[in-house]
Amino acid sequence: MQFADKLDLFGEEVFASLNHKRLKLEAEGRTIFNLSVGTPDFAPYHHVVDALTSAASDPEMWKYSLRDLPEMKQAVCDYYARRFGVEAITPDMVASCNGTQEGVGHLGLALLDPGDTILVPDPCYPVFEAGAKIAGAQLAYYPLNAEHDFLPYVAGIDPALADRAKYMIVSLPANPVGSVGTPELYEEIIAFAREHDLLIVHDNAYSDITYDGPRGGSFLSYPGALEVGVEFFSLSKSFNVTGARIGFIVGRADVVAAFSKLRSQIDFGMFLPIQKAAIAALEGPLDEVEAQRLAYQERRDALCSGLESLGWERPNAHGSMFIWCKLPGGRTDSMAFCEELMERAGVIVTPGASFGPHGEGYVRMALVLPPDGLRAAVEAIREAGITG
């Protein structure tokens, strides 16, 4: 059978490759520290689980939902007002999606025609690229590098390219590079969008995992953002419900409507018990979320300080559940280094090159072990002699 040419745009999924090698080492009896995939090891909160299980016991909840429950849309609006101080969100500015992964991919299909151009960060979460490729669009990268603290530098983007682009993806706190936006940066991005008639698509999956400063916020809280942008907001990391795939697109009503129109042709809506769980998370207490942020910060400190003690350059790690590490000892090939680290130390990380051209020379590590586990991983690296 002749398969679609578009499949040739995608290489082997890096996590699948790493997992295959992990299984081989475990079969040999090796101790493995898997810091590659960002799946939280914290438990979901009881009130969220209780809401889902209670709803799932009702046979009526097992029918097609066909829509987002009005009370769930309103819960998102109320959460944005309570958590982010954004009081202008109305239900027509909210639609659910099965996590940011699906959301970004489907947004490309809703907004892009073949040959259109979008601006994506480099390095970036891979679906930012995949969504454009599936739609037949052209990728234009803007670099995130150490010179600009791994933050978008809009002054460095070619104005002609910006005029040609249909939308620009911004991801802060950033996966994989661990940087966090500032009010001044968001104001620059909004002005840039207005100047070049760009839609801003902001990925806000890690608003509750920031360090060394004020709590994370929302792009939509800045003046003018609602006129130029939408935001993907996820419950996955804040509430430890990654497998439930609970996300939302929030912002400009016309963009949300286009997204919803496409999605109505693809599925029959979010499972109703999951919608009930989402409402419970959005309306419930947030003290556990804050305690978890502090726990992530303790992990960040343990891992970054440990790697620095080995002579590695201190990683960039101001937000998200990841740290972004420069390869030690003058190494330059991130995939080769990942294989070396796995074979010699039993530590699995993700090569920076899998996140885009500017990711080469770095690796991403996920904060998915408690501090003692991360210190043990550092000790395994020390014993393997992989120092700076």
Kindly list the domain boundaries of the chain, sorted by start residue: 10-39+288-383, 46-283
Looking at residue 106, what is its pLDDT?
A: 92
The topology under which CATH files domain 46-283 is: Aspartate Aminotransferase; domain 2 (3.40.640)
CATH number listed for the domain at residues 10-39+288-383: 3.90.1150.10
Looking at residue 20, what is its pLDDT?
A: 76
Of 183, 123, 193, the closest CA to residue 159 belongs to: 193
What is the Cα–Cα distance from 125 to 97, expressed in whole angstroms?
A: 17
CB 371 within 8 A of CB 299: yes
pLDDT tens digits along 191-226: 999 999 999 999 999 999 999 877 889 999 999 999
Average pLDDT in the 34-47 region?
92
pLDDT tens digits along 99-129: 988 999 899 999 999 999 999 999 999 889 9
Looking at residue 12, what is its pLDDT?
A: 63
pLDDT tens digits along 77-90: 999 999 999 999 99
Q: Is the pLDDT of residue 15 over 70?
A: no
Average pLDDT in the 65-69 region?
96
Angle at 195 between CA 228 and CA 105, to 5 degrees: 45
Q: Is the pLDDT of residue 10 over 90?
A: no
Q: Residue 263 carries which side chain, given as an amino acid letter?
A: R
Please provide the average confidence, as pLDDT, over all residues in the chain: 94
Q: Is the pLDDT of residue 9 over 80?
A: no
What is the Cα–Cα distance from 358 to 329, expressed in whole angstroms?
A: 19
What is the Cα–Cα distance from 343 to 221, expressed in whole angstroms?
A: 46
Name the band, by pLDDT with cuts 50, 70 and 90, for residue 163: very high
What's the gap between Cα 229 and its chain centre? 17
Q: Is the pLDDT of residue 248 over 90?
A: yes
Name the band, by pLDDT with cuts 50, 70 and 90, for residue 280: very high
Q: Is the pLDDT of residue 11 over 90?
A: no
| Stretch among 88-102, 124-138, 338-352 having the lowest mean pLDDT | 124-138
What is the Cα–Cα distance from 282 to 54, expressed in whole angstroms?
A: 17
CA distances from 54 to 46, 59, 64, 74, 285 (A): 12, 11, 18, 21, 19
Q: Is the pTM of this model over 0.85?
A: yes
What is the Cα–Cα distance from 250 to 73, expressed in whole angstroms?
A: 10
232 or 18, higher pLDDT: 232
Upper half-sphere CA count for residue 373 (Cβ side, 13 Å):
15
User: Would the CA dihedral through 177, 181, 187, 193 be positive or negative?
Assistant: positive
Average pLDDT in the 263-286 region?
96
Can you give 22-53 as a three-state secondary structure string? HHHHHHCCCCCEECCCCCCCCCCCHHHHHHHH
